[in-house]
Structure 1
Amino acid sequence: MIRILFAAAALLLAACSDNDSSNNAPAAAANQADQRSGALLYRQYCVNCHGSGAGGAPQVGKDHRLYWSHEVEEEGFETLVQEAIHGINAMPPRGNCYDCSDQEIRNAVIYMLQLSAAK
């Protein structure tokens, strides 16, 4: 009986080796969970200018749908993301969120476009 328990324990430990590719899934999920949402970042950083138009920032909201739709169509989504990451005109890089990852900035841009009902 004890031999069977040891054998079962050995099999369980072998199944938990570092070579198991399924061990990467929890790490990837943890990284996604650590990301701040676009809505959170918008409220913490972006709304300061994009909510009021301060410093010439284009405002966000359904009333500004045509502006944002035009930007996406003319400049492209990736250009908007790169401008948010690197800054443009009076906008500082990353909208002053210096610890934001590129993906978090992308999430914030997506959220702003959704708020504006951009097409």
Structure 2
Amino acid sequence: MLPVLLLAACSDSDAPTAAAATQAEPRSGALLYRQFCVTCHGSGVAGAPKVGKENRLYWSHEVEEEGFDTLVQEAINGVNAMPPRGNCFDCSDEEVRNAVIHMLQLSGAK
């Protein structure tokens, strides 16, 4: 039984696994929009500003008046009826930022 123990002791168990070594790429804004944001921002429920080219002036005004970073912080922290991170509890700040960018692109905001 000694050779088996020696082989087990020589295993590479301290090395990170392939899954742990590979950092997951952030999810796209489009994916997150479809999963979390469209529920409210697609229909305007609870006063959420609607996304779409017909709302370009609203979103452009928000970026101009509030600033992009403020919009991202509001999405991260929540504002009015919007819950923090739009209820995406495992979304990183970068992913929330990606979702905001996607919504602005869908709306044609400048």
The match for 1:18 is none
Paired residue for 2:11?
none
CA distance in 1, matches of 2:83, 2:37: 11
Higher helix content, 1 or 2: 1
Give identity over the alignment, percent. Answer: 79
TM-score (norm 2): 0.79
* Higher-Rg member (1/2): 1
- SS at structure 2 position matched to 1:90: coil
What does residue 61 of structure 2 align with? 70
Deviation at 1:34, TM superposition (A): 2.1
Q: Following TM superposition, where does structure 1 have runs of at least 4 consecutive aligned residues deviating by more than 2 angstroms?
A: none
- Which residue number corresponds to residue 7 of structure 1? none
Give deviations 1:71-107, integer Å, cap 9, x for gaps.
0000000000000000000000000000000000000
Q: Paired residue for 1:105, among 82, 96, 103?
A: 96
CA distance in 2, matches of 1:99, 1:38: 14
Q: Which runs of 5+ in 2 are unaligned?
A: 1-20
Question: Runs of 5+ in structure 1 lacking a partner?
Answer: 1-26
Instruction: Say whether residues 1:81 and 2:93 are aligned partners.
Output: no
CA deviation string 1:49-69 (max 9, x = no partner): 000000100000000000000
**How many residues align structurally?**
90
Residue 116 (str. 1) matches residue 103 (str. 2): no
- TM-score normalised by structure 1 residue count: 0.73
Are 2:91 and 1:95 aligned? no
Q: 1-side partners of 2:62 and 2:68: how far apart?
A: 8
Following superposition of structure 1 onto structure 2, how do residues 28-67 of structure 1 map, counting pairs within 5 Å? 30-31=22-23, 34-67=25-58
CA distance in structure 1 between the aligned counterparts of 2:28 and 2:91, rounded to whole angstroms:
11
